[in-house]
Chains A and B, each alone.
Chain A
């Protein structure tokens, strides 16, 4: 089987614009997810039981149901309660809320793995609870959270493909369109695999670099 390079050249602009959109969705969706995760991770770990239960419900709902169903709820159900969003906005918000639940749990695990004695020690040194979390707990938790965060970012990247179902013209959408128009099969999917693989590899490399930098003051084994 030989590759039809002319076909790839013909569709290159579409594929590249799809790749670009995938990257944009990935970045914006991840930023929303990180913000939501940080905002919910703190109460999930440190808040009173009542508030904690509310946040727990959020996390369980978004982690326990498929992203596709959440997107349908937001995109098709939203207009019924006066929340009319275009596909792109709905997709980004959906992706962000979904990823945010996973990030919240990740933040909780990170915070919980710092021994309670550290918080107590900081308090006895005169740190307020807030300052102790900010300056003592957070920097240590961040290092622990980095590797699983990179995993989560890769998962979010792959989940951006689901947004093609809402007709957002990202990479998967463009590739599916190309196969339907040309009946070619190897070329479009090869391009797609290459695109995602490139982004995954990029995320992994950046993650390693960040890990190296964050732990530069630590003794290496």
Chain B
């Protein structure tokens, strides 16, 4: 028994921790992608000419921004089985994170569209652009560029919020570090390691996003400071 409880070599723990970090990245990316897929129609509804659609979009945003994410996770994980839908914890977690971040992403996108002066629409029409072309070449590039910094912040937010999926049993970075601490009783070391890994992933994400933002802005005149 004492052998069983003996300390696991640090290198093994480190490897387990890195696998956990991989799960954290995977669940976050899945959530961000799903979130964007939901956010686009929600944003379109919020900007719609029809009052009912605008109301529905606003309701979605207000519900999912108004309730704590932890609660949304618990609802998706524990409630869906009641209606006969049993999902693996990873999928349930990704869905819960995704529908929550969609509300924030939709608002960021909407902010991006709001800064486009209405004249652009008229000008595109005058130049003979069809509705699809106007969207593709005039509106979307500008909106995405304007919304990009806020969307990146949201991604970093989701990466950190993904630590909550440990509560519904996903073996992410937080859960794995908890397990390691439960075995070897070195909370400071391993929770600090987990924190450092989160920080590293976030810094990498921010750096990548910086490059992407410059790429999105490459058609723009730069303001000399």
Contact = CB atoms under 8 A, between A and B. Distances in A.
Interface of A: 60-61, 64-70, 72-73, 76-77, 80-81, 158-162, 164-165, 172, 175-176, 179, 185, 189, 192-193, 196-197, 200
B202 interface: yes
Interface residues of B, number: 34
A162 B164 contact: yes
A162 B79 CA distance: 19
B42 interface: no
Nearest to B203: A64
Contacts of A67: 160, 163
A98 to B, nearest CB: 10
Contacts of B192: 73, 77
A80 B187 CA distance: 8
Contacts, number: 95
Interface stretch (B32-40, B63-71, B114-122): B63-71
Interface string B59-88: 000010011111100110011001000000
B177 interface: yes
B52 interface: no
A196 B66 contact: yes
10 contacts: A65-B160, A66-B160, A66-B161, A66-B174, A69-B194, A69-B195, A72-B177, A77-B187, A160-B68, A161-B69
B90 interface: no
B191 A69 contact: yes
Top 4 nearest A-B pairs by Cβ distance? A66-B163, A161-B68, A77-B188, A76-B187
A73 B78 contact: no
A164 B78 CA distance: 17
B138 interface: no
Contacts of A65: 160, 195, 198-199
B187 A185 contact: no
Nearest to B202: A64
Contacts of B82: 185
Given A61-B199, A64-B202, A66-B160, A73 B71 contact: no
A69 B195 CA distance: 7
B166 interface: yes
Contacts of B178: 72
Nearest to A192: B71
Given A68-B164, A72-B178, A60 B68 contact: no
Nearest to A73: B191
B69 A158 contact: yes
Contacts of B164: 66, 68, 162
Contacts of A161: 68-71
B174 A189 contact: no
A143 to B, nearest CB: 22
Contacts of A68: 163-164, 166, 174
Nearest to A196: B67
Nearest to B173: A69
Contacts of B166: 68
